[in-house]
Structure 1
Amino acid sequence: MGLTFTKLFSRLFAKKEMRILMVGLDAAGKTTILYKLKLGEIVTTIPTIGFNVETVEYKNISFTVWDVGGQDKIRPLWRHYFQNTQGLIFVVDSNDRDRVVEARDELHRMLNEDELRDAVLLVFANKQDLPNAMNAAEITDKLGLHSLRQRHWYIQSTCATSGEGLYEGLDWLSNNIANKASIRYPILLFLRASPTQSTNAFFNFFEEPQEKKTFFKFQPMQQI
């Protein structure tokens, strides 16, 4: 029994893995954000032709972050990175007023893709250190975020060079991805059975292929 519960707790508290796709128009600061999170420092970047991928460790969570180039000729390739994405980070240059409508159109076009239907959306309103930057409320309006009725979304003001706001964004992502998972895959399977049977049912549930999983409804125990 001791080994059984050791196995149980190791599964419950093991490091979680989350797949994140980070996109946005070119020069929004995506790669600077990625390496600020990865290395904790500013790196010299060039326009991304293709993608960068890094693993970011934060609060017992392993984020695999895909940073995909944002030039207009590359954007049609974004769709090749949609599969299995749990969280979408859309980075906006808050100082680029001339292209905010273009950013909105790209965002909404992407959110209409079926492969992203379950992904939560985090918008980084980046470059808040610049004097003419739009604030988060203005960008929310410009991007039409309030029209996203069926989507979990959040906007976070950030400055990639200082790191301000970046980890607050990761906190929101991790909490909301975890909440969606707990709603979709409840773990309360301890029903009207002996402790051994209940524990075995718990482990069998996680070891079965997803399509074969059986969910149970709780039934109160009868008085004897």
Structure 2
Amino acid sequence: MFNFDWFYGLLSSLGLYRKEAKILFLGLDNAGKTTLLHMLRDEKLVQHQPTQHPTSEELSIGNINFKAFDLGGHRIARRVWSDYYAKVDAVLYLVDASDKERFAESKRELNALLSDESLRNAPFLILGNKIDLHYAASEDELRYHMGLTGVTTGKGKVNLADTNVRPIEVFMCSIVRKMGYGDGFRWVSQYI
């Protein structure tokens, strides 16, 4: 179970009270973007229809207001992703770790995002979702297929002042089991 009190305390200790952030929830269709967004908002697991149109939610966690945009992941929806890149504080990219047949497609979309000049300063949190399924990829397997082996910056703090490195990291999670994504949010919150 995700401990929101712990998360609030963490955000406070990181000096993130009273901050506002714009986070894009991106990834292919059926990766879990809408499920995660609603889990963060309502702490309830609900079956959702595929996202047909971009939606946004204002999430307050402690004294931080996140404006989260779920832009959908089907092929037509991906065409409008770039319309939302302005002033993005972080990108959360979800991958269905159980759908190995779509790894190449997901990698192409992630590579396009990572190479987009308007997102060059945005930290990227990649969540490998659905690890509760026995046939889901391991973290190493997901890193390999997404082209992230040796590319990520580590799960600790990256000092951005001394480097020209964009924070990027992979965390494995199960939204339905409420596990793993809290670590990912803790990591990305360092850079907002």
Q: TM-score normalized by structure 1?
A: 0.70
Aligned to 1:174: 189
Structure 1 residue 82 displacement after superposition: 0.8
Q: Secondary structure at the match of 2:52?
A: coil
Within 5 Å, give how 1:7-22 maps onto structure 2: 14-22=17-25
Within 5 Å, give how 1:62-73 maps onto structure 2: 62-73=65-76
Aligned to 1:153: 168
**Identity level (%):** 32
Which stretches in structure 1 are left out of the alignment for 5+ residues? Answer: 1-11, 178-224
Change (3 A) 1:93 1:14: closer
CA distance in 2, matches of 1:135, 1:176: 26
Which stretches in structure 2 are left out of the alignment for 5+ residues? Answer: 1-14, 154-164
Structure 1 residue 80 displacement after superposition: 0.5
Aligned to 2:119: 116
Change (3 A) 1:13 1:129: closer
- How many residues of Structure 1 are paired with residues of Structure 2 in the alignment? 166
- Letter of the aligned partner of 1:118 in structure 2? N
Does residue 130 of structure 1 match 2:133? yes
Structure 1 residue 61 displacement after superposition: 2.1
Change (3 A) 1:15 1:103: same
Question: More relative contact order in 1 or in 2 (CA 8 Å, sep 6+)?
Answer: 2
- Letter of the aligned partner of 1:110 in structure 2? L
Change (3 A) 1:14 1:61: closer
For 1:108-147, what per-residue CA distance to the aligned partner results, in whole angstroms no more than 9, with x for missing partners? 0122111101100000100000010001121111111234
Does residue 33 of structure 1 match 2:33? no
Aligned to 1:97: 100
